[in-house]
Amino acid sequence: MAKGYRTNVGAVLMRADGRVLVAERINQPGSWQFPQGGVDKGEGLEEAMWRELGEELGLKQPRSVCRVLGHGPEVRYDFPKGMKAKIAKKYAGQAQTLFVLGFDGQDSDFDLNADKHPEFQALRWVTPRQAVDLYWEVKRPIVEATFEALKAHINMGLEDHEEP
């Protein structure tokens, strides 16, 4: 029997200066991504996205510091052959939708240790181009399709200098 695709959502938090938030995975140092996760049974895409922001970034009331600007198309990707993660035993890959959110809060609003099973060890604000370049190559098409669909909100041409 063929394995299906897990429905998944992610959140691209964007500050007023156009930089987006990426998070470094605890179990994979050097691996940066947007907060993301699976959609639970009976849960809508946006509802799952808000839940993930609370679980992964420790935002107590994410709706008070974030506003939805839009979302990209659902993009499917296959897990690489031989991937050892448990999820790859159950699914062929994921069907992910990325939401782009305006972030009006402060860095102090994040608490990476709020969940009993934290996923991230560090956060970093980068240009959208840097985010694409940092992302796992298997998932880059999702980011690129979302940024293209929401180019009215995303300025890929920001200067590529690091945060002070």
Question: Which DSSP string do the residues of 35-88 spell out, in sequence order?
Answer: -EEEPPTT--HHHHHHHHHHHHH--SSHHHHEEEEEE---EEEEPPTT--SHHH
What pLDDT, on a 0 to 100 scale, did the predictor assign at position 164? 43
- Domains of the chain and any CATH numbers: 5-149 (3.90.79.10)
Please report where in the chains the tokens 């940092």 appear, as a residue. 134
What pLDDT, on a 0 to 100 scale, did the predictor assign at position 14? 96
Amino acid at 87: I
Q: How many C-beta atoms lie closer than 10 Å to residue 70's C-beta?
A: 14
Measured in residues, the chain has a length of 164
| Phi, psi torsion values for 110, nearest 5 degrees | -85, 140
Strand bridging mode 120-126 / 20-25 = antiparallel
Q: Mean pLDDT of successive 10-residue segments in the chain (164 residues)?
A: 87 96 94 95 97 96 96 91 88 93 97 95 96 89 88 73 48
Are 8 and 38 in contact by the 8 Å Cβ rule? The answer is yes
Write the DSSP symbol of residue 139.
Answer: T
What pLDDT, on a 0 to 100 scale, did the predictor assign at position 159? 54
Write the DSSP symbol of residue 28.
Answer: S
Q: Is 107 helix (H, G, I), strand (E, B) or coil?
A: helix
Are 7 and 39 in contact by the 8 Å Cβ rule? The answer is yes
| Phi, psi torsion values for 35, nearest 5 degrees | -60, 135
